[in-house]
Amino acid sequence: MALETEIATAFGWGDCVPVVTCQRYEVITMGAQCTTAPRSYQGEEALLHLACIGAGLESLVLGEAEILGQLRTALAAAPAPLRRLSAPAIAAARVLKREQGFTEHAGFALDHALEIAGVPAEGRIVIVGGGPMGRRTAERAVDLGFSNVTLVARRPLALPEPIQFAPFGGLASLPETDVLATCLGRTAPALGVGDLPKINRLAIDLGTPRNLRSDVDAPVVNLAALVERQRTSPAETERRGRLRERLRQLLMARLEVSGYDSPLGSMREEVERIRQKEVERALRLHPELPVQQLDTITRSLVNQIFHRPSMRLRRSDDPELAATVAALFSARTEETSDDRG
């Protein structure tokens, strides 16, 4: 809330776009920046960060399904110039999600919390909060194998079986539960031991700020613990770093061809044409090769080779040099596979 006040003071809400989710508060602007924000990005790094958000690389659950739609909804209200600038980042995020085939959604935070606590997914679970996060968590609890799943909300909800609905006013009188998870919004009051049913094994607080007070009589896993687990996992860090570099390649390619009539855009189109032709040739010679793997490997190789020269040409702001380099790749004479012997 202090950050909101600073944003309004710095440049007014009309000049920026807030992206607010249960785990995130981002502000996108073409003007001033908040001096006390813990992280800030400018230029291409800002676009890359935007793409990382959209692809779910900044999410607690890697590649979460919901975030790209949330980001696009937020940007729909942005000024037209900002929408145009952000379009390559959104497109790159969409391509990466399609490439990777991410299947996890925000409800998979339940998996991580149970793993941290060493608690099995069995018995009874109560989820407090009828928003998208609460419903996703309830769906995931069913998939994991909890035998009794109850979703508590202020308004009646139509829920798929076997999820049961309970009114918020009756939360404290519910039967004892093995696990309780809270997914309430930031304006909800914090809940204490007198507001909850008896919890036998674990309480999971997925709220921002925290939904549970310190007097809860059960071990508690909160978002801070989940984020710390993600941050300190070498395997997780390596995987996200690798995906970030792939996303950077996709974004740079999008930026280069965003003006399709530019020399760099023409060069990348010709390079891509050659790559596709060579993939087809390799498949004719070696039909046993996996198509998807071959496509991914060659695409990554080409992007690695052309990333640095393309970046330097764009930063040089020398149209004649860019046109000269691009002309080297023009298809003036067509080579066929037979010509190569």
The DSSP line for 30-94 is SS---TT-S----HHHHHHHHHHHHHTTTSSSTT-SSHHHHHHHHHHTS-HHHHHHHHHHHHHHH
Q: Report d(CA 280, CA 21) in Å as an integer.
A: 44
Q: pTM for the complete prediction?
A: 0.70
Q: Give residue 15's pLDDT.
A: 65
Q: Give residue 9's pLDDT.
A: 66
Q: Report d(CA 208, CA 186) in Å as an integer.
A: 6
Which contacts of 153-160 are long-range, i.e. CB under 8 A and separated by 24 or more positions? Answer: 153/129, 154/130, 155/130, 157/130, 159/135
Q: Report d(CA 53, CA 69) in Å as an integer.
A: 11
Q: Is 180:197 a contact under the CB 8 Å cutoff?
A: yes
Q: Report d(CA 141, CA 100) in Å as an integer.
A: 24
Tell whether omega for the bond before 81 is within 30 degrees of 0, i.e. cis: no
Residue 179 DSSP SS3:
strand
Q: Give residue 152's pLDDT.
A: 97
| Paired tokens of 150 | 């109850």
| Paired tokens of 93 | 């995020």
Q: Which residue spans within 83-205 are E strands per DSSP? A: 124-128, 148-153, 164-167, 177-182, 199-205
- The residues pairing with 148 across neighbouring beta strands, listed in sequence order, are 124
Q: Report d(CA 313, CA 124) in Å as an integer.
A: 60
Q: Give residue 336's pLDDT.
A: 39
Q: Report d(CA 264, CA 318) in Å as an integer.
A: 12
Q: Please give the single-letter amino acid code of residue 156.
A: P
On the 0-12 / 13-18 / 19+ scale of CB atoms within 10 A, 212 is buried
Q: Report d(CA 99, CA 74) in Å as an integer.
A: 24
Q: Is 75:90 a contact under the CB 8 Å cutoff?
A: yes
pLDDT beneath 50, residues of the chain: 260, 332-341
